[in-house]
Chains A and B, each alone.
Chain A
Amino acid sequence: MLAAQSISKSFTGVQALRDVSVTIGGNEVVGLIGENGAGKSTLMRILSGTQSPDSGTLTLDGKPLRLRSARDAARNGIGMVFQEQSLLLNLTVAENIYLGQEGEFTRFGLVNWRAMRKAALRQLGKIGVDIDVTARTADLSFAARQMVELAKALTLEDSTNCPLTILLDEPTSVLARADIDILFTRVRSLKARASFVFVSHRLDEVLQVSDRVYVMKDGLIVGEYRADKVTAPQLHEIMVGRGLHSGYYKEAQQTPPRPAVLLEAAGLGVSGAFRNVDFSIREGEVVGIAGVVGSGREELTRSLGGFLPQTSGSLKINGNAVRLASPEQAVKLGVGTVPRERRTEGLVMFLSIASNITLANLGSVMANGIIDHRRERSVAKEWLKRLRIKAPNVDVACRKLSGGNQQKVVLARWMTAGSRILILDHPTRGLDVGAKEEVYELVRELSAQGVAILLLSDTLEETIGLSHQVLTMRDGEITARFEAAAGQKPAQVDLLRAMV
């Protein structure tokens, strides 16, 4: 049994964990839920040896345990499957599974590759998947890589005598539903060999796979439940500290669109991705697109953002026919993208808030061809106030901000640029509930101001809740259109039928 007792940890003034105690029994799946910033990740890092607590102790079967590194943790039977995968894409599956533990196949520094491949095959056999161990990891699907990662964690079984504890940090956030089911089946069947800690912010999944659930909030454990004694809405209330009310998507603030059409696509296509796409977005309208992976909706948004040039059909912006060849051109025409990859594409993380806000429209703070730094900072300060961006000042690098505040900076940039068309590509991904609500509010505000919005979202609910109109896509074509005026929202089942 692995236990943490009275663990506390703080980072420069922020108390990440306060007096946290958890136990993980043998052959048990323990769920760990909480909003972003609740302290889940810090706790996982401490359990996996990559960070040490300020106070408190870890024990393994009652004996005190000190972990100085991931390697230390591994020696004690604790393995971690990372949210963003830790496999090296340039190595083969077998090399990845045994990287850092080649010892048993190595004599005088020489590796017996045949033995390693055979052993890797055996590890994959434990979770019952059939993957070519000589394949380059880069060639595998995401789901297959997750299985390899799990197999890698299971190698600890052979290298230690300790009971095995495997920490799964948001393993499902990048997986498709069917792959999640496979993962859960494996986890359940492996319960006889190991205990699991399962971290997620998707409550239904946590309940589905766990025996016991801990709820974290603000660095504290605020609840511990048996999974069969609690429901998802109950957990949600405990986690957020309030119920999920009907006004979650701010439906009451949904204003009807105006008649002017800002963006119009006719027969639009990108070869190999989507074709014959017809739709239009009016001033103040939110158009949501629902579809499964491979439906072409991702490519459609990339194309409208100028990242992926169209190969057929026509596109009109403000009534003028255009062909978007680059993001630069799209931005000039008033199309702003809030990309899914916030950390790499959304903001220049090392640049200040002010520079990021003005980046798409430097002209607005220039006089005689020269950047007016005073004006730039005052513009940025204005946005800080208007969007309630929490930051010490406008010179702070964006990477220091929380996800929700970063997203607001992205929106501030597009408003500074005067974008009349916004493409929101999974705008709430990775945000906690509070930050999500703020983004919803902003979407409503923008739409009331007449901005046309194209929305792709993580969940159907969010798509339906926010949109005036929802289009469904399948295999690169639009399959159905649903009106979604406030109070007359379509049902998820109807959308699903058109999607799969």
Chain B
Amino acid sequence: MTLHSEQAEFPPQSRNAVGAPRRPSLAAWKTTAARRMRAFAPVFVLVALCILIAIANPNFIELRNLIRIANAAAVPLTLAMGTTFVILMGSIDLSAEGAVAIAATTLVLLAANDSNASNFGWWAVLAAVCASGFMGFLSGNIQTGLRIPSFMATLGVWFIGLGVSTYLLGGSAVRLMDPALRGLALTRFLELPLSVWIALAALAVAIFIQYFTRLGLHIVAIGGGEDLAELSGVNPRRVRIAAFTIAGLFYGVAGVLAAAQLGQSNSVIGDGRLFAAITAVVVGGTALTGGEGGVINTLVGVLIVTVLGNGMVLLGISPYIQQTVQGLMIIAAVASSLDRLRLKIVK
């Protein structure tokens, strides 16, 4: 007599089970195909959006307008690259606006400006990016060291960043007078402003980090399951701190570009940028739960949001309801790209 006969669980063709991925069943193929389709949903949304706007107003595809779109996308793209890494881990980073404010303020106060006598030129850029990177480093350490949710840790850092920047600026706006740095927004290379090229470089760096480095793999692994990744020898604390720091560095670059575009820094320079960045990440198809998506998705997400904004201006839609349209678009885009079968619980 067997004590626990297991025949009851006998699967019909289990001999094949081990090699299953080589011989996928039709059903399995269908789910895989469906997942691939969903993965491309944001791209379809972008293409459809472009076609519709172009039909309604052919000016949309004029070179001048496309450059305008690229210019408008530069800062959000750089910001959203940073946010992507944090969201990939299943965390959230609310510190973007504070970090942008810190970077922009550091830049204008160290470069030639109308408030003090400093003139450190390009060193100011480096200092600005580092200052913002330090804010990210701080977020990472607070989150892992004090063991509090990233939502609250980065919320605190947001206020700190904003506070430091307001304090340094004394509540007023300081103008950026360094012509070379202003040139980041004004000088053009191959028709495009330098800021667009810098954003593209930031994109390249982000792609490189996510797809070619060990850190990128570990960030995705933590998003898939931090406890499991840790069992495999990933050091979650180090990876988390690194990811938040990288996010901070990207925010720093975005802050420099924003200051160059505005020609000044003030306490509200970051306003509205945080949720715009998160929107772009989410619309691009990166899951807030972590582990799925990435910087390429975010590129698509940023383009969707920017093209929509540009299109609404071209179509003469009242600026008042542009937020409304964007809100509806977020719902449509996210609802179409979510793989709900895998998400048993939606929170």
Contacts and interface: CB of A to CB of B under 8 A. Distances in A.
A291 B220 contact: no
B307 to A, nearest CB: 29
A110 interface: yes
B32 to A, nearest CB: 6
B18 A147 contact: yes
A391 interface: no
Given A99-B232, A111-B214, A461-B5, A90 B220 contact: yes
A139 B28 contact: yes
A131 B230 CA distance: 25
Interface string B18-38: 111110100010001000000
A193 B2 CA distance: 31
B17 A109 contact: no
Contacts of B5: 459-461, 492
A451 B214 CA distance: 58
Contact of B10 (A82, A101, A499): A499
> Which of A100, A236, A244 has the most C-beta atoms of chain B within 10 angstroms of its own C-beta?
A100
Interface in A419-459: 457-459
A86 B232 contact: yes
Interface of B: prevailing SS: helix
Interface stretch (B102-110, B177-185, B221-229): B221-229
Nearest to A95: B217
Contacts of A321: none
Contacts of A292: 7-12
18 contacts: A89-B225, A90-B224, A99-B217, A99-B234, A109-B213, A111-B212, A129-B18, A132-B22, A139-B28, A141-B18, A141-B20, A176-B10, A178-B10, A202-B3, A202-B4, A244-B3, A292-B8, A460-B5
Nearest to B28: A139
A131 B228 contact: no
A70 interface: yes
B4 A203 contact: yes
Contacts of B228: 86-88
Contacts of A410: none
Given A86-B228, A90-B223, A178-B17, A204 B4 contact: yes
Contacts of A460: 5, 7-8
Given A131-B19, A179-B17, A70 B28 contact: no
Interface string B236-258: 00000000000000000000000
A106 interface: yes
A366 interface: no
Contacts of B4: 201-204, 458-459, 461
A236 B231 CA distance: 33
B15 interface: yes
